[in-house]
């Protein structure tokens, strides 16, 4: 009988239930449910609708049941850094604010008063991003101190959903590292740092590695969805899952996990917490098997998603990509400029940047898309050179995984901009990486090496030469 495993993968713009099973050494996947995600404004704050997302998680589970494909196990991954605070009755305190909200503005100053950025990086190895949990918690402390007083637990978004399914609280390691409160050395909460910042120690749950069996569904969930299932912690940080599914067992594999963000980097056994690394704003995110993802956040498809929305969804992503390829406007923007994080209008933000820097200002949609895509490639090129300088390794190939691997024009630009052979695919890397940890935990696959070989054998990879 076929054994099914379920990955629930929720990104900033959509979520999906992907069932996976093995057939002759290859993984076969089937999408059971897909749903919308996005930020909505509540009390002036940009919030996720976590209640609705949990409803969608249950709807997807019911669909699996209806199809007679009850998974042996399941795991949930989402974007990182966002969390809920729970009170003594396990109720969420305050709004479920998303990381693009502006509440963290100026919070770096307050954190800096407690600990210099150099020291913070030295302890955690995590790049400074104004939306990191460390700054979000400071915003809560400043604006809603009562929430912190009342909180008995802090759970990252996937930990929260998995808690709702099982009644068990845990803090999955890969996502916990993105809080910037985990020691790169001990791989546990840095309680000394937490105490210095004045965050209550009691709210931090025990850190568990991906592959930990969290538990079975609660009685209530079992009744509602109609079956029981084991919840296994995947790399709950989506990027952690995606990088697990890079189809290469080479020591030195360069990758971009391309989705809402472009995460560009390599995997390393040790974190680099040096001052030079901090200055370049590289991060050392915790990965499967305590490997580190040494990478850089690049603004990514969020810029195109925002443009598409502003154009009233008149064009598909494929159309925008095709239109961009016809436009040769030479202007470039720095994708990592903070103005692109959450602008009221991406169009105006891109135009404003070009104007301020004395470049041709894009007006037509094709021109705007052209500037954005070519700016990605430019940024990828710079980042590769920084990675090579920091690691002392010359890379030959560049793996592009995730939804962005579909954008042929971008892949061509990426090959040209980096001088690397681009190996594009798989596009559903995050869900695949989520499944891989379940397969390893259940003994279907031996280890990470076998898992990456299996990804390589199972999915098509397109090649773009520089
Ligand atoms: C990608 C991602 C990135 C993280 C950003 C915010 O979806 O998880 O890795 O830096 O979202 O959480």
Over residues 26-51, the pLDDT tens digits come to 999 999 999 999 999 999 999 999 99
ipTM computed for the complex: 0.99
Closest C-alpha to ligand 1, atom 12: 80
Contact 27, 458 (CB under 8 A): yes
Give pLDDT, residue 251: 87
Closest C-alpha to ligand 1, atom 1: 79
Q: Which atom of ligand 1 is nearest to the CA of 79?
A: 8
Average pLDDT value for residue range 459-466: 97
> How far is residue 133's CA from residue 79's CA, in Å, rounded to a whole number?
12
CA 207 vs. chain centroid, Å, equals 19
Q: Is 260 in the pocket of ligand 1 (CB under 6 A)?
A: yes
Give pLDDT, residue 61: 98
> How far is residue 411's CA from residue 416's CA, in Å, rounded to a whole number?
9
Q: Is 239 in the pocket of ligand 1 (CB under 6 A)?
A: yes
Q: Is 81 in the pocket of ligand 1 (CB under 6 A)?
A: yes
Please tell me whether the peptide bond between 240 and the residue prior to it is cis, using omega within 30 degrees of 0: no
Average pLDDT value for residue range 423-433: 98
Distance 342 CA to ligand 1 centre (A): 14
* Confidence tier at 207 by pLDDT (50, 70, 90): very high
Average pLDDT value for residue range 311-329: 94
Is the dihedral angle over the CA atoms 422, 426, 431, 435 positive or is it negative? negative
Over residues 83-139, the pLDDT tens digits come to 999 999 999 999 999 999 999 999 999 999 999 999 999 999 999 999 999 999 999
Q: Is 48 in the pocket of ligand 1 (CB under 6 A)?
A: no
Pocket test residue of 12, 16, 80, 132 for ligand 1, highest count of atoms within 8 A of CB: 80
Q: Is 261 in the pocket of ligand 1 (CB under 6 A)?
A: yes
φ, ψ for residue 84, nearest 5 deg: -125, 155
Closest C-alpha to ligand 1, atom 4: 80
> How far is residue 368's CA from residue 272's CA, in Å, rounded to a whole number?
37
Q: Is 93 in the pocket of ligand 1 (CB under 6 A)?
A: no
Q: What are the start and end residues of each CATH 3.30.420.40 domain in the chain?
A: 38-56+76-231, 247-423
User: β-pairing, 397-401 with 254-258?
Assistant: parallel
Pocket test residue of 128, 235, 239 for ligand 1, highest count of atoms within 8 A of CB: 239
Pocket test residue of 79, 296, 429 for ligand 1, highest count of atoms within 8 A of CB: 79
| In the predicted structure, residue 328 carries a pLDDT above the cut 90 | no
Q: Which atom of ligand 1 is nearest to the CA of 239?
A: 9
* Confidence tier at 429 by pLDDT (50, 70, 90): very high
Distance 217 CA to ligand 1 centre (A): 27
Q: Does domain 38-56+76-231 have CATH number 3.40.50.970?
A: no
> How far is residue 307's CA from residue 364's CA, in Å, rounded to a whole number?
11
Q: Is 71 in the pocket of ligand 1 (CB under 6 A)?
A: no
Distance 261 CA to ligand 1 centre (A): 7
384's enclosing H/E stretch is: helix 365-391
Q: Which atom of ligand 1 is nearest to the CA of 11?
A: 7
Over residues 64-90, the pLDDT tens digits come to 999 999 999 999 999 999 999 999 999
Q: What is the pTM of this model?
A: 0.98
Over residues 365-385, the pLDDT tens digits come to 999 999 999 999 999 999 999
Question: Could you list the active site residues?
Answer: 238
Over residues 144-191, the pLDDT tens digits come to 999 999 999 999 999 999 999 999 999 999 999 999 999 999 999 999
Distance 237 CA to ligand 1 centre (A): 8
Higher pLDDT, 243 or 251: 243
* Residue 14, strand partner residues: 36
Scanning 172-287, the segments in alpha helix (DSSP H) are 173-177, 191-197, 219-225, 238-244, 275-279
Contact 399, 266 (CB under 8 A): no
The percentage of residues in the chain with a pLDDT greater than 90, rounded to a whole number, is: 99
For 56-78, b/e burial (b = at least 16 CB within 10 A) is bbeebbeebbeeebbbebbbbbb
Q: Is 79 in the pocket of ligand 1 (CB under 6 A)?
A: yes
* Confidence tier at 393 by pLDDT (50, 70, 90): very high
Average pLDDT, the chain: 97
Q: Is 288 in the pocket of ligand 1 (CB under 6 A)?
A: no
Q: Is 10 in the pocket of ligand 1 (CB under 6 A)?
A: no
The CATH number that domain 247-423 falls under is: 3.30.420.40
Closest C-alpha to ligand 1, atom 9: 239
């Amino acid at each position: 009988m076929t054994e099914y495993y379920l990955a629930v993968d929720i990104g900033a713009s959509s979520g999906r239930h992907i069932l996976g099973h093995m057939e002759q050494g290859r993984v076969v996947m089937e999408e059971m449910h897909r749903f919308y995600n996005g930020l909505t404004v509540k009390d002036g704050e940009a919030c996720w609708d976590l209640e609705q997302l949990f409803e969608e998680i249950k709807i997807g589970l019911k669909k699996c049941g209806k199809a007679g494909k009850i998974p042996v196990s399941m795991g949930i991954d989402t974007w990182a850094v966002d969390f809920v605070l729970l009170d003594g009755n396990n109720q969420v305190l305050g709004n479920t604010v998303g990381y693009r909200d502006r509440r963290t503005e100026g919070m770096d100053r307050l954190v800096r008063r407690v600990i210099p950025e150099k020291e913070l990086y030295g302890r955690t190895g995590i790049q400074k991003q104004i939306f990191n949990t460390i700054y979000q918690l400071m915003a809560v402390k400043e604006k809603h101190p009562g929430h912190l007083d009342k909180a008995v637990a802090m759970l990252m978004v996937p930990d929260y959903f998995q808690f709702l399914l099982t009644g068990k609280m845990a803090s999955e390691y890969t996502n916990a590292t993105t809080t910037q409160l985990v020691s790169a050395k001990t791989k546990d909460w840095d309680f000394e740092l937490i105490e210095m910042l004045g965050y209550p120690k009691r709210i931090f749950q025990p850190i568990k590695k991906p592959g930990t069996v969290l538990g079975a569904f609660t009685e209530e969930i079992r009744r509602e969805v109609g079956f029981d299932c084991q919840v296994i912690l995947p790399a709950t940080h989506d990027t952690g899952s995606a990088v697990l599914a890079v189809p290469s067992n080479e020591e030195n594999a360069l990758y971009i996990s391309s989705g809402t963000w472009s995460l560009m980097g390599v995997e390393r056994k040790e974190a680099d917490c040096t001052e030079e690394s901090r200055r370049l704003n590289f991060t050392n995110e915790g990965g499967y098997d305590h490997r580190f993802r040494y990478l850089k956040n690049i603004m990514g498809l969020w810029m195109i998603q925002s443009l598409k929305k502003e154009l009233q969804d008149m064009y598909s992503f494929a159309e925008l990509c095709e239109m961009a390829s016809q436009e040769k406007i030479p202007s470039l923007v720095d994708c990592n400029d903070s103005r692109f994080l959450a602008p009221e209008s991406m169009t105006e933000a891109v135009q404003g940047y070009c104007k301020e820097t004395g470049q041709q200002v894009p007006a037509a949609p094709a021109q705007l898309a052209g500037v954005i895509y070519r700016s990605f490639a430019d940024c990828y090129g710079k980042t590769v050179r920084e990675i090579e300088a920091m690691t002392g390794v010359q890379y030959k190939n560049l793996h592009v995984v995730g939804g962005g691997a579909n954008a042929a024009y971008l892949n061509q630009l990426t090959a040209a901009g980096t001088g690397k052979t681009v190996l594009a695919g798989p596009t559903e890397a995050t869900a695949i990486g989520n499944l891989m940890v379940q397969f390893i935990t259940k003994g279907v696959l031996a280890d990470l090496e076998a898992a990456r070989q299996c990804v390589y054998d199972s999915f098509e990879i397109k090649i773009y030469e520089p």
